[in-house]
A and B are shown apart, each in its own frame.
Chain A
Amino acid sequence: MPTAIQAEQLTKRFPHKIAVDTVTFSVEQGSVFGLLGRNGAGKSSTIKLLTTLSPISSGKARVAGYDVSAQPVEVRRHIGYVPQLPSADVDLTAYENLLISTKLYCIPRSERRDRIRDALELMGLDKSVNLLVRGYSGGMMRRLEIAQAMLHHPAVLFLDEPTVGLDPLARHAVWTRIGELRARLGTTILLTTHYMDEASALCDHVAFLHDGKLAGIGTPAELCAALRPGATLDDVFISLTRTRA
């Protein structure tokens, strides 16, 4: 399988902190990859590096076949990103949010309508398209943001805590939609989450970050088996990230 994301010795230094410390991993095309770890472990920082939003201090990364530092615009053309914080504009309708995105991604006028309709349908939002997003529930908002991030059919989709703050039903709805997205478009997905059950269910591979460093990587089953028979991913999480550096 070709790789969709390749990070080599990826590092982000701030004046008083190393947010991402020589992290190396790769993600197979079409798979779902989970980045796990405690708050402040470097998950969001890693995503910001891979999405070109934050300059890399040292190391290298390729996303969707392009070098993140050398070809940022090409990378942006081929990725979608849903940040942790709400990124849909609540003062616009769902349709308007999507319309603006189709224009930012230069989707030809003749295709805009279909793309928007497909995205809304895939995320199960087709009924509330002309409502101001201000009136949306948390779950609808998240699905809208995912719809917005995949309008241009990105090869790689980055989801930073896509289910944080959602009720169990809304969480499951997001899971289902992510599964469909992957099945229909073959999108590679990198997500972060604090729910280990979610990581077990959704991710083909997971990587644990601890204090900016890679603390463990593998399939959820491998990681659990390596710890001890019958261990859950929660146990793995605790064992890998307990120490405070």
Chain B
Amino acid sequence: MLGEGILKGLGETARNFAGSFVSAERLTTVQYPEERIAPIEATRDFPFLVYDGADWEAGLRCVACQICEKECPPKCIYIVKSTDKKPDALGKPQIYPSRFDIDISVCMSCQICVEVCPFEAIKMDTEFELSTTDRFGGLLYDKKELAKSNEHFHKIHPTEAAEVDARLAEEKAKSEAKAKGAAAAAAAKAAAGTVAASPATAAKQTIAAAPTSAVKAAEGDKKE
């Protein structure tokens, strides 16, 4: 009969109206500034730069290879390579970014920079309360604003951070083993090749060769 559906609908809205006063699970609204729900682990918005250790400037993993800058679809990353080298967190001398800016008003949160970074240096953040009264400068983040510790990374994306740490540790172990092997090989070669030569020179060569070859091996490993 005509009107039956209307009555049914009116009943449904009345039930919802009354129900929202008595049952808490109907009202799913989270009253945001006072109440918050923890973001899910896959949440991401804008990238940040990971650093190890306590000093953000020394500990930056970024070596200014500029891959992310080239791959960024909206071109929101701006990097200036340093002219000198500085020791990184592990003590190896590396090129570092003398400038690293991300314009988050341009960034589209695509995560491509994270996917292409060979050094696990750039990751996605979950911070979303980024409003500012300065729409140009306030949204252009420099190196200092972008740098966040590995602990922060662990806090926001625990699973991914654990994987990254495991991978880095493995690589480090591998490169150390390789360096050790190379050093040993060089030493053996030196020892074998300089049978006729005086033992003094042989010893000198070994000492000189060991550190350089280790560094080279480590660098080669990373670039792969």
- Real complex partners, A and B? no
